[in-house]
Amino acid sequence: MAIRSVLAQTWQDFELIVIDDASPDDTGARVARYLGDRRVRYLRNPSNLRAEGNWNRCLEEARGEYVKVLPHDDLIEPDCLARQVAALDAHPDVVLSFASRHIIGKGDKPLFVKRAPWKSGRVAAGEVLRACVRGGTNLIGEPGAVLFRRSAAERAGVFDASIPYVLDLDYWCRLLAHGDAWCDDAPLASFRVSTGSWSVAIGREQASEFSRFIQAIAHLPQVRAGDMDIAVGRLRARLNNLARRIIYTFVLR
């Protein structure tokens, strides 16, 4: 499904690199049917690198001007690349474009839309990151909802899973040290949650991990969060943890 959602894009000038993280299933056979498309490359890791290592290999292999990391069970809307590429093309000092997203469950069942808290347009790096701190959550979104400049990634370095729950948000924070963000309030991606997903497994520790993250970034130049921002963020992180546990328990059954 993820591959088909990419190949269905209205923006056709892209490369699709499928990196198999030494999965024990038939990923290679599933991808083989798409290899007739010259835009598609298939690579397999000799051993399992987990999210951090696999996403970093994506950065190593990417050759385009812009990069999107799309986990295998997530989707993007047909106009996702067109809209996000247009935003970055039009604003050279914007380093990433992010969007609202659909939250879906088993069998692509729609659960709800997670709206970005800004109208479509440019958002200053400090504003978006302080809002993440105060909100106790990743308001920018999961990787499928974000397109970023490869030039900014070269300056930001690699993904770092020192705090696993914020692997993606930590990277967005480091990218935003080099420019502002562009928000598209249309839901351009679908993020899948299930009882067996990685996001659910690490969600059990999310409140404490987000508090650690807040402490680590609060006083960075691109953030500059105050004491009240930090206190509110820690409280909301705990409330967000409770809300997700309710969703995982009752909605995903």
Contact 113, 101 (CB under 8 A): yes
pLDDT at residue 186, as a whole number: 98
pLDDT at residue 1, as a whole number: 85
pTM score, whole prediction: 0.93
pLDDT in tens, 39-86: 999 999 999 999 999 999 999 999 999 999 999 999 999 999 999 999
Nearest to 160 by CA among 217, 221, 208: 217
pLDDT at residue 182, as a whole number: 98
Confidence of residue 236 (pLDDT cuts 50, 70, 90): very high
Residues 160-187 have a mean pLDDT of 97
Nearest to 194 by CA among 94, 99, 89, 72: 72
∠ Cα 192 21 154 (to 5°)? 85
pLDDT at residue 244, as a whole number: 77
pLDDT at residue 205, as a whole number: 76
Confidence of residue 201 (pLDDT cuts 50, 70, 90): low
pLDDT at residue 248, as a whole number: 66
CATH 3.90.800.10 fits 2-251, yes or no: no
**Alpha-carbon span 60 to 219, nearest angstrom:** 30
Q: Which residues contact 167 (CB under 8 A, 6 or more apart)?
A: 51, 52, 55, 159, 160, 161
pLDDT in tens, 96-115: 999 999 999 888 889 999 99
Dihedral class, residue 107 (left if φ above 0, else alpha if ψ from -120 to 50, else beta): left
**Residue 170 pLDDT greater than 80, yes or no:** yes
**Alpha-carbon span 239 to 15, nearest angstrom:** 40
pLDDT in tens, 128-166: 999 999 999 999 999 999 999 999 999 999 999 999 999
The residue ranges of every structural domain in the chain are 2-251
Residues 224-247 have a mean pLDDT of 90
pLDDT at residue 78, as a whole number: 98
Considering 190-199, 204-213, 243-252, the range whose residues carry the highest mean pLDDT is 204-213
Contact 54, 45 (CB under 8 A): yes
∠ Cα 163 105 1 (to 5°)? 90
**Residue 200 pLDDT greater than 60, yes or no:** no
Return mean pLDDT, the chain: 93
